[in-house]
Structure 1
């Protein structure tokens, strides 16, 4: 008997709404030991995913990086040095206040890799170890796109361990 997504998934999924604000989602990350939440609409359809790194990006935007080219004639090539302000210099309180009311729909990733309950363990593994290093969890959806479970990497590892111990 081969494993399916149904065998691997956790059916009790903690989710957030696209209308939840950044401050509320921060509280959920503090409350639950998850690295990301599926974002679902009122009909429980998956419309995105928000991760801790999505929120961290609010406090370290790319435009805060200063690139300084170093090079003097007669040298043709230049070296570039990246200068970033240290985390201690960032005013996290101001950044949180500035972003607290933003809806999570502005921060989430709208392209979500999902599987159906009957997907094979190989399909799940292909997503978790594929070319996108940011996929650490895979929502399980029914034929209408409604969330019915979620599979994290540790769920797959635990299932393989349990099979070995049988």
Structure 2
């Protein structure tokens, strides 16, 4: 019955994590390869210290200025250097996770009830929540998919 489910019953335990000194290029590759939207950031003791998500990366990307150009007789004339754009993109890829991660995050304990976890995610409009033990060590992660699966998967009845 769903009322008796706990965070540890619905979480994904094979959690991909990243350290704060990883580059954004490394994170982007992990997100693409694993088809996920974000990763918990952990310290050397596997304690959760933040989250880095595709949204964090996109927020930084929006500050890249495209080169100025004009359209003249159906041709594009660049008024600015494409090398600058390339340099801006390389700089963003070299950023460290700690420069872009979200540090004010919501975490839940592995013993928290399913209802509490679902309500937190809905009220705070968050897509994923790390599941930790009493020492803040990561034990799993719960995404919206896990909530839906717990609600509608017959195996949880």
Matched, 1:3 2:5: yes
Q: CA deviation at 1:162?
A: 1.9
Distance change (3 Å), C-alpha of 1:150 and 1:92:
farther
Q: Any unmatched runs of 5+ in structure 1?
A: 65-90
**TM-score, length-normalised on structure 1?**
0.76
Q: Which residue of 2 aligns with 1:150?
A: 141
Matched, 1:108 2:113: no
Q: Which residue of 1 aligns with 2:37?
A: 35
Q: Which residue of 2 aligns with 1:162?
A: 153
User: Which runs of structure 1 show a deviation greater than 4 angstroms over 4 or more consecutive aligned residues?
Assistant: 163-166
RMSD after superposition: 2.2
Q: Which residue of 1 aligns with 2:74?
A: none
The number of aligned residues is 138
Q: CA deviation at 1:165?
A: 7.7
Q: Any unmatched runs of 5+ in structure 2?
A: 66-83
**TM-score, length-normalised on structure 2?**
0.80
- C-alpha contact 1:36 1:51 (8 A) present in aligned 2: yes
